[in-house]
Structure 1
Amino acid sequence: MKNIAVIGYGVIGKRVADAIQKQDDMNLSGVCDIISDWRIQNAVRKGYDIYYATSEAEKEMKKAAIPVKGSMQDLLKNVDLVVDCTPKNIAAQNIKIYKDLGLKFIVQGGEKHETTGHSFSAENNYKSALNLNATRVVSCNTTSILRTLTALKKAGLLEYARGTLLRRATDPWESHLGGIMNTMVPERDIPSHQGPDAKSVDPDLDVITSAIKVPETLSHMHYWNVKLKKQTTKEEVIKAFKTSTRIKLIQYDEGLVSNNTIKEMFLDMGRPWGDMYEVALWEDMLKVVGDELFYAYVVDNQAIVIPETIDAIRALTGIEMDADKSIAKTNHSLGIH
């Protein structure tokens, strides 16, 4: 059993904490934040040990009757690894603390690759993360890119890929604070950052992305045009995608015509928060024309990196040396079938 601390109990942190609790080879030592509102109060209800990040946070937590166990430094004394789920400016400050304490740590995709020198995607480069001191779990969009392109690459089908990303404007729970309305905002630079980010995990990928912010909050949607290494069939492409346990093939003709209907399906499946850990890829929309492949899928920006984070914990701590075994274990615990 490895003892794991979660720093930052927000959209990703709360999901990582719950996922750690479902594993039999790691233990959640506690969660740490500066908040004292309903978010951390829910962590108390779940029985998690709560730690404060600053002296001001300690005062506010105690004022709100949050049963704090101690400071972040107290939490870090007895852990094997830290998963930092704080905003990137905060994470950058925390990294120095982890290094000074000699702790292994994981950061999220908002950080730059250079922060850790290693970027992670379980089905692509698990082995290269074994027993490292740190890694970065790449962003939700980059994770989806790597899952789909890695499946095609392993099947010997991938020549190069060009993708267009329709990005949600803000997180659902913050949609009252801002975002965009009645407009679309293209990212100025092509390629957008996701293509180069994917290459930080797999430098051999020939991938270019462009991105547009759209006025919705549930998820991202991707459209891909892939040049194949050879002329092939739709059946062979689908067979390649099925080698990934984290790509879920869905059918447009079964009523899954939009991101909200897909979200409703996962809610009906009983997933916490309706989380979709998989890439939801439309099988009946997929087309092969000669040596070109066209497909589209939906990405749950709040959930897709959760299984990757659990696998990254196993790789860095060395509690599971085999990628397939870790992925299968994580999938089973999170209900990914």
Structure 2
Amino acid sequence: MSLQTPIRVAINGYGVIGKRVADAVAVQQDMILAGVADVAEDWRPRAALRKGYPLFGATQEHVASMRAAGMDVAGTLDNLLEISDIVIDCTPKHLASKNMETYRQRGLKYIVQGGEPHEGTSHSFVAESNYDSAVGRDCTRIVSCNTTSIIRTLTALKRHGLLLRARGTLLRRATDPWESHMGGIMNTVVPEPEIPSHQGPDAQTVDPDLDVVTMAVKIPQTLAHIHYWSVQMTREASKDEVLDAFRSSSRISLIRTGDGFTAINSIKEFMADLGRPHDSLYEVALWEDMLKVQGSELFYAYMVDNQAIVIPETIDAIRALTRVEPDAGKSIKATNDSLGIGSLDL
């Protein structure tokens, strides 16, 4: 595929992640959004139509019901796949495992999300860590929001020769904001029943050499996750050296409580002020003035936007699989520029 031929991208599932991937694909110079497929008949697919995105139904039955609801549906998912080079599966957890056989039979490259098991693709992706190993593959899996943040931050330390082992505690949002009326928790916290929680082993599917252990607890809010990390470094280092390591990642942004970023709601509000689609924080927002170094021990905390952090990774994975850009640095820069990543500095 030449750089002059835009990648035709299909998105199967127009939910929390799917609609954000669609918006991101739509602003890439080397991609065309072939269309989005869904099953709903409510406001969600109608929003896609209002944006001018071609809409498809998952099956002929869904096409009929969506048209009966007054929506302009272009055809079925099969019709969408016929005109696409790659499909991003953003369907609810576990459905992608059933869809993968369809993609394979069509010889279509595909990307699934972190709710699916690593074994389904035998490759898990974070651009700054293992882009090169994804180039030309038939498929990959974008790891979860929390795992993405873990890989970004620990990779930055590792590349500077500072990482020995890492132990993290995750304070997880209860549910996605748009679903908070349907579930979630109130007046309690819910610990994950096992240590390590699943995020540490998941990070090792991207980088098997990481010595990482995670613990997690679900808390009654829906805005974002917060991580607290204790890292044993390979040697004593200054705070400035550690901050320079984090600055080497274009997808880690250093924030300060002194600038008013005292809680996750203020950071989300800043994203809205920047005009980001869906108030998206694509970066890891790491508190610079909270970070502490004691000899060879490092302590830090950061915020993870569970609905946004995986979006740039998905865009980079599209380029890697299709070989439209085999160079990780060039793809990351193109994605960052298109999404305004790195614009948090005050």
Q: Same fold (TM over 0.5)?
A: yes
Q: Establish whether residue 64 from structure 1 lines up as the match of residue 101 from structure 2.
A: no
Contact 2:94–2:115 at 8 Å: present in 1 too?
no
Q: What is the alpha-carbon distance in structure 2 between the residues aligned to residue 17 and residue 272 of structure 1?
A: 11
Contact 2:200 2:214 in 1 (8 A): yes
Equivalenced residue count is 337
Normalised by the length of structure 2, the TM-score is 0.97
Q: Deviations over 1:85-104 (max 9, x none)?
A: 00122211111100111110
Q: Describe how 1:321-332 pairs up with structure 2 within 5 A.
A: 321-332=326-337
CA distance in 2, matches of 1:195, 1:331: 26
Q: Who is 2:245 aligned against?
A: 240
State yes or no: 1:172 paired with 2:215. Answer: no
Offset from partner CA, 1:91-146 (integer Å, 9 cap, x none): 11111100111110000000010010000000000000000000000000000000
Verify: 1:136 aligned to 2:141, yes or no. Answer: yes
Give 1:87's aligned residue: 92
Runs of 4+ in structure 1 deviating by more than 4 angstroms, as ranges, are none
**Contact 2:168–2:229 (CA<8 Å) still a contact in 1?**
yes
Distance (whole Å) between structure 2 residues aligned to residue 298 and residue 193 of structure 1: 18
Write the distance in 2 (CA, Å) between the matches of 1:270 and 1:44. Answer: 21
Distance 1:156 1:73 in 2: 48
CA distance in 1, matches of 2:322, 2:177: 33
User: Which residue of structure 1 lines up, in the alignment, with residue 223 of structure 2?
Assistant: 218
Residue of 19, 27, 30 corresponding to 1:22: 27
| Residue identity matched to 1:247 | I
The Cα shift of 1:50 comes to 0.7
Write out aligned runs for 1:96-115 (5 A): 96-115=101-120
The Cα of 1:64 is off from its aligned counterpart by 1.5
1:255 Cα deviation from its structure 2 partner: 1.2
SS at match of 1:177: coil
| Partner residue, 2:3 | none
Between the aligned partners of 1:251 and 1:89, the Cα distance in structure 2 is 39
Which blocks of at least 5 consecutive residues in structure 1 are unaligned? none
- Per the alignment, residue 308 of structure 2 pairs with 303
Q: What is the letter of the counterpart of residue 310 of structure 1?
A: I
Q: What is residue 336 of structure 1 aligned with on the other side?
A: 341
Shift of 1:55: 3.0
Percent identity for Structure 1 against Structure 2: 62
Deviations 1:160-209 (A, max 9, x none): 00000000010000000011000000001000000000000000000000
Q: In the alignment, residue 183 of structure 1 is paired with which amino acid?
A: T
**Matched-pair contact (CA < 8 Å) for 2:145–2:304:** yes
For residue 59 of structure 2, the aligned residue among 54, 62, 87 is 54
Distance 1:112 1:286 in 2: 33
TM-score normalised by structure 1 residue count: 0.99
**Alpha-carbon distance between aligned partners in 1 of 2:153 and 2:291, rounded to the nearest angstrom:** 13
- Once the two structures are TM-superposed, the CA of residue 59 in structure 1 deviates from its matched residue by 2.2
Alpha-carbon distance in structure 1 between the residues aligned to 2:93 and 2:274: 33
Find the residue that maps to 1:68 and give its secondary structure. Answer: coil
1:11 corresponds to which residue? 16
In 1, Cα distance between the equivalents of 2:241 and 2:95? 45
Aligned residue type for 2:234: K
Aligned to 1:183, the other structure's residue is in SS state coil
Q: Does 1:200 align with 2:205?
A: yes
Is 1:263 paired with 2:286?
A: no
Structure 2: state its 5+ residue gaps.
1-5
Match 1:125 to one of 114, 126, 130: 130
Secondary structure class of the residue paired with 1:40:
helix
CA RMSD of aligned residues (A): 0.6
Tell me the amino acid that sits aligned with residue 108 of structure 1. Answer: Q
